[in-house]
Structures are given as C-alpha cells and as structure tokens.
Chains A and B, each alone.
Chain A
Amino acid sequence: MNAAERIEAASSFLLQSPPGEINDVLNDVRNIISDDDSLHEGVLPALKEYNLSQFMTVDVPGTTHQSIVSEAARVSATDAGQERFVDPRSKTSFLFDHLSLEASDSQPAEPDADSEPFRAALEKSTLTYLSAHFNDGVASIFASKEPTNQFIIQVVANKYNPANYWAGRWRSEYTIDLNENNIRGKVLVNVHYYEQGNVQLSTTHTISLSLPAAVVTSTPSASASKILALIEDEEGDGEKTFKGLRRALPLTRQKLDWDKVLGYKLGAELSSSKGMFGNS
C-alpha cells in the first residue's frame, strides 16, 4: 500500500468511529500508520467530514449553551480562507478546530431580518421539546440562505459511558420547507456496546410530511415518538427473526442427550427417533 492508500484507509476507519470514540480510533490509527506527519495532514478532511456529519457540539465562547457544528452551520469562507460556523441562537459566528474540537474568535453574526422571526419561534418550541425528551440534548435551528423560506432543525444527544463499555448518539434533522410546504426529516441512532464483544445498533429513518399549518410546532415531538415506536416495533420483529435463527431449546423443549447423539446419523429420520432426545 502506498502512502496515499494508507491515508485513505485511515480516513475510512475514522469515519466509522462509534459515538465518542474518535480519539480512541485516532490513537489506534496513529500507532498503525506510525507516520504522524503525513497522517495529521492527510486525515484532516476525514475529521472535518466526521465532525460535520456527526453534529459535533461545541461550547460557543461567551455563551452558556452548546451549538451544533454541521454543514448547515457552515458559513461561506472568509477572505482569509478560514471557515466559520454560526450559532444562530447567540447570533455569533466562530472558527472551529476539527482536531481539538474548540471554537475561537467569535464575532457577532447578524441574522436575516425576514426569516429570523419564524426561526426564533422554531427555536423556542424546539428547546421546549428538547428539555422534555432529552437529558443531554443540543439543538440548533438554522434559516437557510438559499433557498429562502427553508429552515433546518438539528438535534443531537450523546451519552458516553466507557466505564461500562457503551456509548450512544441520537441525531435528528428536520428540514421545514415553506415553499413546498413540507417537512423532510431523518433520524439516525447509533449505539455501541463493547463489553467482551462489539455490538452496534444503527438505525436510519427518513420521514416526510406535507405540511398542515398547525403541525410546525408539534411535529418534532410527534414524529420523534414515532421513531421510538419503530424501534419498539423492530424489537418485536427483531426478536422474531432471532428466534428463527436459533431456538432457545430444541422442539422437544429439552437439552440433548449427548450419550445418545453419538453414533446417531441425521440421515435416520428425526421424527421417528424422538425418544433419543432426553425423554425422561
């Protein structure tokens, strides 16, 4: 593998990181590639892509809340070529370091006067919804510049519990389009459980709805509970699939009599030899 391919492989590993484990993955990758100089430069695009797609949260300087760093939060690059992100709630923009995950150089960011009232209303009801359903949730609400009349609600909640070998992340995004009068949403849930193993849950759920006037404020909550209904539903279905793979016990409801299994060939019909399996 040449240097470029190694960087490509390292980037792919980073993008697959489970919630809250990007630093562990980076440490492993660093050790495996053992060429810090080229690695550092090479994986920066992957780190940026990971942060934006995973709705990384950041403490915005000068505020007491957290904000989401995502594609929707990105404002066009400045003259100096530096990329800035906006926190509409505090009306500030800032620089973001994709490695240290810190914000700096915050500046006032004037919102668009036409869209701000509706955006602020959305923000208010989203924050109510957030405190009703999330213990550690962060939400950002953006008014898109192009096209206008389009708003994006993003919610992220993380729980990392490395002491008990699990981590989870909830991401949801709703695009409210007042030109088309619809809402398009997606919910992504990832869970990693790794006590003596590696079990991962990954759900993707996309939803859409034509917009009745009253729905705007109540929808995130209604739809989100629908997502959980899906998970709950999946549970029923999932357990059925599970049973189809391996029975808890044989049809006889008893464990095998291993002394009788010996020398017995499956070719001999099972049905005619039920007596073999642990008849008391």
Chain B
Amino acid sequence: MADLVDSMLDLMRRLPPTRTEENVTALIGICPEYADDLLGSVDQPLKLRTDRATGKEYLACDYNRDGESYRSPWSNEYDPPLDDGTIPTPKLRKLEIAANEAFDTYREMYFEGGASSVYLWDLDDGGFAGVVLLKKTMTPTAPHEPSGSWDSIHVFETAERGRQAHYKLTSTVMLQLVTRKGSDGDAEDKGSGAGNGSGSKAGWKHEGEVSLSGSMTRQTEQDWPILDSSSHITNTGRMIEEMEIKMRNLLQEVYFGKTRDIVYDLRSVDDLEKARRQRELQKELVGFIKR
C-alpha cells in the first residue's frame, strides 16, 4: 500500500524535526509492517558510537546496521559482534578505508571537530554505492549559551562507463540551533523611567528560547573521468564538498533570512498605519500632478 507510506512521509515532513525519533517510533508502533520503508526513507539524527577495537568514534545509521548491530568503518567489526554480518568485498573495503581517511581530513578542515564515517556496498548491476556521514554537536557550557548540531548524510550511487563514471548524489543536512536568553534584575538596577536607552525599557524581565531545526535534501547527477578506483574518492569528494557549500548557503538563507522574513511578515516592526497613510498621501499627490 504505497499511499500509506506516502501519508507517513508527508506527516514526517510536517511534524517538528526536533521530535523525529519519537514520531518515527510511534508510526512503527502503529504500522510495524512498514518499519523498513520508514526507517529507510526518514533521515534521523546520526548516532555517535565508539569503535571498541580502535577507540575511534564512528556514526551509526541505517546503512551500517545489520539487525541490532552497527559496523565500524575503522575496524570493520560489528558491535554487538556478528559472525555473519554483511561486510564489503576486500576490493571495496580497501576503497572504503581510503575514503574514510580522506573524509576524515575533509571533516577536520571544515568542521574542526565532530565525527565522520563512510560506508560502501556493492550494487547488483556491478556498480557500487556509498554513504558519507558527518556530524558535529555543540553543547553549551553555561545556561544561556547556544547549542546546536549539524548532521549530513550523502548517499551516492556510481556506475562506470569506460573511462567515465556516472554519479547520483542525494544529500540531506539536518541542522539544529537553540538559543536561550534571559534577563532579570533590570527592574532592581534601573527602576522605571531611568531612560538610559539601554534597550531594557521599563524594567521588563524576560526569558526566551528560540529553536531552529530542520532538514533539507538536494540531489545532483554528474559524470567524472576515472583513472583508477581511487578516482571515485576524489570525484565524490569534490561533489560532496560542492554540495555542502551550496547547502550551507541555502540553510543560512532559510534559517536566518526566510524565517525572519516570515516573522516580520506576521508582525511588522514599523507602523503599518503610518505607511498606509503615506501611500494615501502619495496617491493624492499623483492625482494633483496628473490634473
């Protein structure tokens, strides 16, 4: 029943991104038979895990999951251990190791912290696919400090055509920002009518929280030349870098431009009545001139 899955996905597109995990769990509870469809189509915040063998952090998602276990890109081991867990062929694993090293460098250059993981798998038609994951979290050290997290999920598929490879990339970025603000004691300090123009008029006490959260998905398809298998890393690397730059700009525009425009659209700071009168006056003047 495809339209049931459509309804679930439409619902997830509307409900608050901050509650994605809770809502996905509830939907699976209602329709357990669609759990795989849902888990495969709804992007959820990446989980940070630690590789038992190397002590390095890695990211867990649906792509490195087998049953209840997750595979680490560093040691290639499943946790909890699995004897028959799916692992890439030796040739693909070699590429996976190199890709993890390359994107670890990328992560350090752009995120200066956080964690990254790359997982690759073979496709039935001879090509292969992969996912590049990046995550960084900022936790506040004081009550009124902002907090936030960035999660990116880049899924790609590639098919070699002679000396060219065709890539299909689907990128999702989840971004969450929370700012808390508070002030009290203005009243005690200044009293009312002090009028020192500090902005805290009349000694209001206020306490606020602004939360911006969401996800965005974009797709691109490109052809790039290949010399050997490692070309796939440089090719997907360039594509993902380009995509993240594009999406970072887009997120900045939506988070700080679009939402602000809508808020100002709801409630104007300027006096609309004054603007209306001005327009009336202008119309009258134009009328005079025309006469």
Which residues in A have some Cβ–Cβ distance to B below 8 Å? 1, 5-6, 9, 12-13, 16-18, 21, 24-25, 27-29, 31-34, 128, 131-135, 137, 157-159, 166, 168-170, 189, 191-194, 196-210, 212, 215, 219, 222-235, 237-242, 244-252, 255-256, 258-259, 261-266, 270, 277
Contact = CB atoms under 8 A, between A and B. Distances in A.
A242 B148 contact: yes
Interface residues of B, number: 93
B154 interface: no
B11 A25 contact: yes
Contacts of B251: 242
Given A166-B258, A230-B208, A247-B112, A198 B214 contact: yes
8 contacts: A28-B14, A194-B14, A209-B205, A230-B206, A234-B210, A241-B138, A258-B237, A266-B108
A6 B17 contact: no
Nearest to A232: B260
A199 B266 contact: no
Given A200-B17, A203-B210, A245 B150 contact: yes
Contacts of B263: 168, 170, 189, 191, 201, 228, 231
Contact of A239 (B19, B109, B147, B256): B256
A70 B83 CA distance: 59
A25 B12 CA distance: 9
A191 B29 CA distance: 29
Interface string B198-235: 01011111111111111111100000000000100110
Contact of A134 (B217, B234, B268): B268
B254 A199 contact: yes
A131 B199 CA distance: 24
Interface in B100-117: 101-102, 104-106, 108-112
B14 A25 contact: yes
B123 interface: no
B206 A133 contact: no
A16 B19 contact: yes
Given A246-B136, A259-B234, A210 B110 contact: no
Contacts of A246: 110-111, 136, 150, 244, 248
Given A201-B210, A255-B241, A258-B102, A194 B13 contact: yes
Majority secondary structure of chain A interface residues (helix, strand, loop or mixed) = mixed
A32 B31 contact: yes
A189 B266 contact: yes
Nearest to A157: B266
Contacts of B101: 263-266
Given A159-B262, A198-B17, A199-B255, A204 B208 contact: yes
A33 B17 CA distance: 22
A234 B146 CA distance: 9
B233 A32 contact: no
B255 A244 contact: no
B201 A242 contact: no
A266 B10 CA distance: 41
Nearest to A25: B14
A245 B259 contact: no
A105 B179 CA distance: 46
Contacts of B12: 198
A1 B267 CA distance: 43
Contacts of A201: 210-212, 259, 262-263
Contacts of A233: 181
Nearest to B111: A246
Contacts of B262: 159, 166, 168, 191, 193, 201
A205 B209 CA distance: 6
B251 to A, nearest CB: 8
Contacts of A277: 109
Which 6 A-B pairs give the minimum distances between C-beta atoms? Answer: A199-B214, A197-B216, A205-B208, A250-B109, A258-B234, A31-B7
Contacts of A133: 267-269, 271-272
B98 A230 contact: no
Interface in B106-164: 106, 108-112, 136, 138, 146-150
A231 to B, nearest CB: 6
Interface string B40-51: 000000000000
A168 B266 contact: yes
The interface centre, meaning the residue of A134, A219, A234, A247 with most chain B CB atoms within 10 A of its CB, is A234
Contacts of A263: 98, 101
A81 B209 CA distance: 39
A251 B259 contact: no
Contacts of B245: 248-249, 255
A31 B30 CA distance: 12
Contacts of A227: 208
B52 interface: no
B84 interface: no
Contact of B149 (A245, A247, A262): A245
A15 to B, nearest CB: 10
A234 B203 contact: no
Given A9-B26, A199-B255, A202-B211, 7 more contacts: A13-B11, A24-B10, A134-B267, A197-B214, A210-B203, A247-B112, A262-B230
Nearest to B193: A212
